[in-house]
Amino acid sequence: MRHFTQVAEPIGGFLKSRRESIDIAHFRSESEFKQQFGRDPDHTDPPDVDECWRLFLEELEIMTSSFESVGDELRSQTEETEALVAHYQAAWQKARQDSGVPTSVEDSRASVMGRRS
């Protein structure tokens, strides 16, 4: 996760604004976060740093919730897919039996007994 700040650079007598990013995903503590942001000229005011920390935590909660929702959805889809596969395998086996086509179990028995259909 990156936080972008505007930084003004003097270039040829004019101030040119460029975007600079700070990687905020690796912070282990609030104090480490605030120490880094305190060095950022755009965030030297303590209320700004506090607001950035609050937004950082809020973003983490949103992302965590989103990832959990996606994980739940994938698990649900996997279970549905497995149920469909089992259903179609059973239907396939039944159709083969009903049509007289040997199933894989019957094929195995026939090959063990020396006869193949």
pLDDT of 56 higher than 70 = yes
**102's tokens:** 């040997």
The average pLDDT across 44-49 equals 65
Q: Which of 15, 24, 44 is nearest to 7 (CA)?
A: 15
| pLDDT in the model for residue 90 | 94
Radius of gyration of the chain (CA): 31
pLDDT tens, position by position, 97-112: 898 876 666 565 666 6
What pLDDT was estimated at residue 83? 94
39: closest CA among 69, 7, 1, 80?
7
pLDDT bin (cut points 50, 70, 90) of residue 20 is: very low
| Contact (CB, 8 A) for 25 and 44 | no
pLDDT of 66 higher than 80? yes
Phi, psi of 58 (to 5 degrees): -60, -45
Other beta carbons within 10 Å of 51:
13
The yes-or-no verdict on residue 42 having pLDDT over 70 is no
CA nearest neighbour of 24 among 68, 69, 54, 46: 54
Q: What is the mean pLDDT of residues 35-42?
A: 63
- Among residues 59, 61, 15, 21, the alpha carbon closest in space to that of 37 is found at 21
Q: How confident is the model at residue 76 (pLDDT cuts 50, 70, 90)?
A: very high
Among residues of the chain, what percentage have pLDDT more than 90? 18
Task: Parse the chain into domains and list their residue ranges.
Answer: 2-71
The model's confidence at residue 84, banded by pLDDT at 50, 70 and 90, is: very high
